Amino acid sequence: MELQEFVNHFAEQFEETEAAAFTPETIFRDLDEWSSLISLSVIAMVDEEYGIALKGADMREAETIQDLFNIVQAKLA
Amino acid sequence: MGYNPFSLEGKTILVTGAAGGIGRATSIECAKLGATLILTDIREDALRETAALLEQTGRSHQTVLADLTDPAGLSALVETSPQLDGLVCNAGVMRLTPVPFIKEEELLRVQQINLNAPILLTKSLLRKKKINKGGSIVLTASAAGVYRVSLGNAIYATTKCGIDAFMRTVALELGPKGIRCNTVNPGMVETGLIGGFTEEEKQQEMRNYPLGRFAQPQDIALGIAYLLSDASSFVTGTALKIDGGMTLS
């Protein structure tokens, strides 16, 4: 699993936010467009792309996209 | 014993999804109200726990391990079932998936458990004439789909709308035979089904509940018990909301 690819998949769940806003360090809850539906979409994307079922608690634990990437990677190991 | 139109004395009732949540609570309430239960679920250990909880009633109840999405499991359950005065189709699953991410496989699985299994079980029991005149069928629907929809819950809500339509059709068809059919329609209930929500999400959702809390399984079980009892003899084709007022606003 590639970090940049993960960031791109993460960004694909957004409509309005510019691509430049998404880096591993992005604190995603601070993005104006962040919503509960996007949160659900990220969980579904991770399931579809990586075969990992994230829980709400996993989402809450992550602050940045990198954090979430790390959580997914740990589950893949 | 004194006057109690809600008594289930002498009634034999089959409960699906009896291993946990609303199904377990329903089994307990029905047993306390005097019924003899046939408990069924796919989860063996938890089903045995429910059975153990009923032992103190003194009557002997039956457990049947069954996967209701498997035609063989379903027909074995129907064959072993005695004559029934009540059927509670309660087994169900839920998983939140936004519409663009719905997978056909997941759609079919949830439909099989939440919609097809109750329809086929009801059909088979009726066909074999295992539901007595004066009997009551109670299906667990939901506030979801029937009264409101929420983000990510399309599949579940769709199956519950199906249950609502099925319930009304059964009520219409079986009324002349003296068999009633109704649903209970819970909002959020404190069961494993809502285990996917974080504490934070639950607190936020709770603001939509005028009574200030989610349902306990017993709150729903008592509604089901009412619909099974002779107290509801003239009630059929009804969706009974038990949602703490959630759908009011």
CA angle, residues B54, B65, B103, in degrees to nearest 5: 120
Contacts of B196 in chain A (CB under 8 A): 55-56
- State how far the Cα of B56 lies from the Cα of B176, in Å rounded to an integer: 38
B94, B97, B103: which to substitute to probe chain A, counting the most A Cβ within 10 Å?
B97
Contacts of B200 in chain A (CB under 8 A): 60
Residues of B tagged active-site = 156
Q: For position B58, what pLDDT does the model report?
A: 78
Q: For position B30, what pLDDT does the model report?
A: 97
Q: For position B176, what pLDDT does the model report?
A: 94
DSSP-derived 3-state class of residue B6: coil
In chain A, domain spans: 3-16+26-76
Closest Cβ opposite residue A60 in set B97, B103, B200: B200
- Put simply, whether B97 touches A (Cβ < 8 Å) is yes
What phi, psi does B87 have (nearest 5°)? -130, 130
Question: Which DSSP letter does residue A34 get?
Answer: -
- State how far the Cα of B231 lies from the Cα of B225, in Å rounded to an integer: 10
pTM for this model (two decimals): 0.91
State ipTM.
0.76
What are the average pLDDT values for consecutive 10-residue runs of chain B, which has 249 residues? Answer: 92 97 97 97 96 88 96 97 98 92 96 98 97 98 95 96 98 96 96 75 90 96 98 98 96
Closest among B205, B156, B208, B152 to B185, alpha carbons compared: B156
Class of domain B12-240: alpha beta
Q: For position B193, what pLDDT does the model report?
A: 72
Q: Going by C-beta distance under 8 Å and a sequence separation of 6 or more, which residues neighbour residue A76? A: A1, A50, A52
Could you write out the three-class secondary structure of B120-169?
Answer: HHHHHHHHCCCEEEEEEEEEECCCECCCECCCCCHHHHHHHHHHHHHHHH
Closest Cβ opposite residue A44 in set B101, B197, B201: B101
Q: Which amino acid is at B164?
A: D
Q: For position B199, what pLDDT does the model report?
A: 78
| Residues shown for chain B | 249
Query: CB–CB of B201 and A41 under 8 A?
Result: no
Query: CB–CB of A45 and B101 under 8 A?
Result: yes
Q: For position B1, what pLDDT does the model report?
A: 58
- State how far the Cα of B36 lies from the Cα of B54, in Å rounded to an integer: 10
Contacts of B201 in chain A (CB under 8 A): 36, 56
Judged by phi (left if over 0) then psi (alpha if -120 to 50, else beta), residue B55 lies in: alpha
Query: In this structure, are residues A11 and A19 in contact, taking their beta carbons and an 8 Å threshold?
Result: yes
Q: Smallest CA–CA separation between A55 and chain B, in Å?
A: 6
In tens, the pLDDT along A25-55 reads 999 999 999 998 999 999 999 999 999 999 8
Q: Smallest CA–CA separation between B215 and chain A, in Å?
A: 21
Q: Looking at residues A2-24, what average pLDDT do you find?
A: 95
Q: Going by C-beta distance under 8 Å and a sequence separation of 6 or more, which residues neighbour residue B179? A: B126, B131, B133, B134, B135, B136, B137, B170
